[in-house]
Chains A and B, each alone.
Chain A
Amino acid sequence: MMTFFWIALGAFLVASSAGTLGVFLLLRRMSWFADALSHAVLPGLVLGFLIAQDRQSPLLFVGALCMALLSSFLVQFLHKKMQLHIDASIGLVYTFLFALGILGVSLFGQGSDLDTDCVLFGDILYLGLPPYFHSLGMNIPVQILPVLLNALLVVAFVLCFYHTLALICFHDEYAHAKGIKVNVWHFLLMGMVALTSVVAFEQVGAVLSIGFFILLPAKAFLLSKRLKTMLLWVIVWAVLDSLLGTALAFYFNVSVSAAVSAVSGTTLMLLFCGMQWRKFFVDFKNT
């Protein structure tokens, strides 16, 4: 039971921090940056692993973070300087970096648990395992600490700079005219996204973390017209999806991250169907 609690909590923390940032990405129409970043984490991890020769070393984290930032810089460079369409530049960068990561994993990953499975599934099940430390009258698994820290950081970031973030999301040029350095904020946001996707990679795998960045904000966007309510909806859906997904995963003994993603997407599609249904009835009544 405790295992279930910790894993569900971990999934919730990852989902809510990614979702919160995802709202701002969505409004700035940069959702796919999360895609590029999450794929770019892989070669960074391999690079860190090559230098440190140890799966647990913090160098892996640093490498992944650097690579994620580099990929966001590359996308921006191709888009702005080389005048490629944004879709095209993201497509180029993420496939290249992902291929690099796969190459690295298959060449150097043997003998460690850095393999293609962790790319797909992530290691969220470790959340329920020892080592523990004792605090607040509970045995708290150590693995949850980075997730928790990241979530707190995201919350602090959003709460402290809420107005600036809102401004650069809704009106770039007005923000610029008010003297806000839009480029700096862009890279700060990217930095938070990079940090979150590195943390998310550890827990949910490379490819699925994009789901948390896009699906939750998409649902929130469909349900509300205000930024504050959007952020609230993200938290609500994060609770629902992570509980339901983890329960499903435990019942069928499948990957937790995939289950949460699938549940999150399915609820989005149900929401879409429901809204279409309602529209249909309203039209029907009016005619």
Chain B
Amino acid sequence: MLWSFLTDNFTWFVVSLCLVFLSASTASVGVWAVLQKRALISEVIAHAVLPGVVLAFLIGEAKNPAYLLLGGFITGSFAVYLSDLLIRKTKLKIDTALGSVLAWLFGVGVLLLSYSQNLQHLDKSGLERFLWGKAASLQSFDLYTLLGLSILLSLLQLVLYMPFQILILDKDYAKTRGLKVKALQMLLSAMSVLCVVLGLQAVGVVLMAAFMITPAVVAQKLWQKLWQIQWFSIFLSSASALCGTAFSAIFPDVPTGASIVLVMSILGLLFFIFMPQRGYLAQVLKNKAHRRKTMQENTLKVLYQLGEEKDNFLLPQSIDKIIEKRFYPAKTLYKTLKILEHQHFILRTNDNIWLTDLGLDESKRIVKAHRLWEQYLYEKLQFRNDHVHGMAEQVEHLLTPKLLSEIDKELKNPDTDPHNEPIPKL
């Protein structure tokens, strides 16, 4: 059953496998470039292979794609070399230097391309393929090439994982460790160029940059560990390669490269926003929850302090007094009070508020956290007593009860904070 499905759709099967290999290895190489903040260099390479390919086509007048790819490899590497040279030797800033190299080489490429269109005797179909990519033209032979490429690149990365890691973290440290920084840098660039060149036939010139940048950028935003970033970007790019090929199989007019890039960007965006715990939305919600908690705790703290002044914590307090003490906008204060009332921390009539027993315990805990932390900074870390309040304001919302009792023990249950205010006992 499965076998007959595969043989019936053999072309499609080969094409999608090719693209999966291609995009997975490109994505894993791209991670290094993006983490080095050299994303633009892959854009330069993706444009700069054009003149090489066309030149090889014009000189060789040959159909053999190997020469075209070799030409692309040469100009791609030349572009990397030239950009580094311009950055080192002139006062041009990095972005201008890279942009100049890109614009120049791409201009030359298009110039040669339009020249080749005038030559009647040449069969231009070979060239057209490299411009916008023609995944349907991939064959079993290309599959082996791309498989070989993926194996080669993954072996290289496995063997040199440690040196690469040191290189992208800290170049100077890598130098002092005796690593050959220049050689490693060149190897990374060569790997990028290789990926772009081998992707030409399937994806075309300009869009190869996306294969290198998009998965890596999304991955490094969502994950912290290097191996996680690597695996996630490989996963993202392979998944989009599969979906994109399927899409272009349904709509044969659409170039495969463009549809893969679209899927990749949209999928990346979705992950970026909606991924649980790590995505943008989750972060925003988390921040909002923290802000709300801070508001509630601060309000309880104010109520405690107001009670402290009168030496009676169960007296009713007016809302105006709270605003006077903490400058809340009235609207947020009412919202907070509503939540606190719901949690049975306070009771309220129109203008007055009481702490309940539960609320008193909670407010004591917060005030204790605040003053204990002030004392800790003052006593153990030798901060001056007029420097500790701000930090305690932050930390009081983060201290867990367990941590609190540990600090209490460490400080031998102090009675007062550095401002001589009493630390409440729970």
Contact = CB atoms under 8 A, between A and B. Distances in A.
Interface string B29-70: 000001001111011000100000000000000000000000
B139 interface: no
A211 B107 CA distance: 8
Among B42, B100, B132: residue with most chain A CB under 10 A:
B100
Interface string A82-93: 101101101110
A99 B37 contact: no
Contacts of B100: 214-215, 218, 265, 268
Given A103-B258, A221-B91, A264 B280 contact: no
Given A85-B39, A107-B251, A99 B258 contact: yes
B99 A214 contact: yes
Interface string A250-287: 00111101111110111011001001100000000000
A96 B109 CA distance: 23
Query: For the complex, would chain B's binding face be called helix, strand, loop or mixed by DSSP majority?
Result: helix
A106 B254 contact: yes
Contacts of A262: 104, 107-108, 110-111
Interface stretch (A27-35, A48-56, A157-165): A27-35
B322 to A, nearest CB: 33
Interface string A214-231: 110110011000000000
B165 interface: no
A262 to B, nearest CB: 4
Interface stretch (B213-221, B376-384, B410-418): B213-221
B265 A96 contact: yes
A102 B43 CA distance: 17
Given A84-B221, A92-B213, A254 B111 contact: yes
B389 to A, nearest CB: 30
A272 B96 CA distance: 14
A32 B261 CA distance: 20
Contacts of A82: 221, 272, 280
B39 A261 contact: no
Given A100-B262, A103-B259, A92 B214 contact: yes
Contact of A88 (B39, B47, B109, B251): B39
B181 to A, nearest CB: 21
Contacts of B40: 32, 87, 90-91
A252 B111 CA distance: 10
Interface string A2-36: 00000000000000000000000010010110010
Interface residues of A, number: 56
B103 A210 contact: yes
B4 interface: no
B265 A102 contact: no
A98 interface: yes
B114 A255 contact: yes
A221 B96 contact: yes
Nearest to B116: A254
A82 to B, nearest CB: 7
A268 B86 CA distance: 11
B209 A254 contact: no
A25 to B, nearest CB: 9
Contacts of A257: 110
A31 B95 contact: yes
A245 to B, nearest CB: 9
B118 interface: yes
B110 A121 contact: yes
Interface string A120-147: 1100000000000000000000000000
Contact of B262 (A91, A96, A276): A96
Interface in B182-235: 206-207, 209-210, 213-214, 217, 221
Contacts of B258: 99-100, 102-103, 106
A255 B34 CA distance: 34
Contacts of B206: 95, 98, 207
A57 interface: no
B391 interface: no
Contacts of B104: 211, 215, 261-262, 264-266, 268-269
B107 A254 contact: no
A208 interface: yes
Contact of B207 (A99, A211, A213): A99
Interface in B108-123: 108-111, 113-115, 118
Contacts of B42: 91
Contacts of A98: 206-207, 261
Most B CB within 10 A of own CB, among A82, A103, A213, A269: A103
A65 B132 CA distance: 25
A183 interface: no
Contacts of A90: 40
A116 interface: yes
Nearest to B261: A99
Interface string A236-247: 000000000000
Given A82-B221, A87-B39, A254-B118, A31 B251 contact: no
A85 B210 contact: no
A116 B134 CA distance: 14
Nearest to A116: B132
Nearest to A99: B261
A87 B42 CA distance: 11
Nearest to B260: A99
Nearest to B39: A87
A95 B265 contact: yes
A229 B179 CA distance: 45
B102 interface: yes
B91 A214 contact: no
A218 B96 contact: yes
A258 to B, nearest CB: 4
A276 B103 contact: no
Contacts of A253: 118
Contacts of B209: 91, 95
Given A96-B210, A107-B251, 15 more contacts: A31-B95, A31-B99, A91-B39, A91-B217, A92-B214, A92-B217, A96-B265, A121-B110, A207-B110, A208-B106, A210-B103, A254-B114, A255-B113, A255-B114, A272-B89
